[in-house]
């Protein structure tokens, strides 16, 4: 199984990368986490006919702005989009003329499923929980090919993030704040927060992504931030194009 970071920025695109999108290629499925501008690279890594599942965390534009290029893909088994309650209405609002191709006019069938908190039995096991952010945001936990992958995008420190990441093989966590920064009014994580969540959850590996574009203006700043965390056994700095093998 491969985890491929297609976009690792928060807020907007810069020379450091595109806005957030992560692809998990497993044996029988392709799992896409959020639809920032990095999503345009999907067809570099999806060249088969396996089904594609897209999980949206929330509707801040840096997580959905890539949706307007979906019509360049040809997913032979269609696309299943999952998100919190209200997802269908949001997608119908933004995926329409004059903005982009309407969702029902894409060159493949699209199915939208709205989620409440809890475990789900899709073709694979998935659990979702609300995180703490300025807009309703879902975090996810997946059981794929015998590996547990947790995805905690925009969030402040919260118990649900720990629960999602419990004993995970990989925690993909946001890292918007610089080391030492925190703000209850703009809930995000700094690298120490992300590490603490991973440590409390017993996650084996932590990958940081969603580096705020206004704060992390160079790759070196990302590396320095990760290096500032002293008590994290295995930490990966997300970069566009990075491939993790699990």
3-state secondary structure of 7: strand
Q: Which region, judged by CB under 8 A, interacts with other proteins, from 48-56, 126-134, 143-151, 234-242?
A: 126-134
Closest distance of CB 156 from other proteins, Å: 8
Q: Quick one: 44 or 85, whose CB is closer to other proteins?
A: 85
Pair of tokens at residue 186: 């703009």
Q: Please enumerate in sequence order all residues whose Cβ is within 8 A of that of 42, keeping only pairs 6 or more positions apart, or say none.
A: 6, 21, 23, 32, 73
Pair of tokens at residue 117: 């908190």
Check the CA dihedral 174-177-182-186 and report its sign: negative
User: Is residue 127 a contact residue for other proteins (CB under 8 A)?
Assistant: no
User: Is residue 94 a contact residue for other proteins (CB under 8 A)?
Assistant: no
User: Is residue 166 a contact residue for other proteins (CB under 8 A)?
Assistant: no
Q: What is the distance between the alpha carbons of residues 156 and 190, in angstroms, rounded to a whole number?
A: 9
User: Is residue 196 a contact residue for other proteins (CB under 8 A)?
Assistant: yes
Q: How far is CA 227 from CA 20, 43, 127, 208, 237, in A?
A: 22, 33, 31, 12, 10
Q: Which region, judged by CB under 8 A, interacts with other proteins, from 44-52, 68-76, 195-203, 230-238?
A: 195-203
Binding-site member from 50, 61, 219, 246 for other proteins (CB under 8 A): 61
Closest distance of CB 211 from other proteins, Å: 11
Enumerate binding residues for other proteins (CB under 8 A).
10-12, 60-62, 85-86, 89, 116-117, 129-130, 132-137, 154, 157-160, 162, 176-177, 181-186, 196-197, 200, 212, 214
């Amino acid at each position: 199984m491969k985890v491929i970071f297609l976009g690792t920025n928060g807020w907007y695109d810069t020379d450091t990368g595109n806005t957030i999108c992560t692809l998990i290629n497993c044996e029988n499925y392709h799992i896409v986490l959020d639809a920032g501008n990095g999503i345009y690279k999907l067809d570099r890594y999806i060249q088969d006919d396996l089904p594609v599942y897209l999980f949206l965390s929330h509707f801040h534009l840096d997580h959905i702005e890539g949706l307007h290029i979906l019509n360049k893909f040809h997913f032979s088994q269609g696309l299943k989009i999952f998100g919190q309650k209200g997802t269908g209405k949001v997608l119908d609002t933004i995926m329409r003329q004059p903005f982009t191709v309407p969702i029902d006019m894409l060159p493949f069938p699209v199915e939208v499923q709205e989620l409440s908190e809890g475990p789900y039995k899709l073709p694979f096991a998935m659990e979702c929980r609300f995180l703490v952010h300025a807009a309703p945001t879902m975090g996810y936990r997946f059981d794929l090919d015998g590996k547990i992958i947790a995805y905690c995008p925009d969030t402040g420190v919260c118990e649900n993030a720990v629960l999602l990441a419990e004993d995970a093989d990989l925690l993909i966590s946001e890292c918007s704040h610089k080391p030492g920064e925190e703000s209850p009014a703009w809930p995000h994580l700094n690298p120490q927060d992300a590490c603490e969540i991973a440590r409390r959850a017993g996650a084996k590996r932590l990958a940081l992504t969603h580096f705020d574009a206004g704060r992390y203006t160079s790759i070196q700043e990302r590396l320095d931030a990760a290096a500032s965390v002293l008590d994290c056994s295995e930490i990966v700095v997300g970069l566009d194009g990075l491939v993790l093998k699990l």
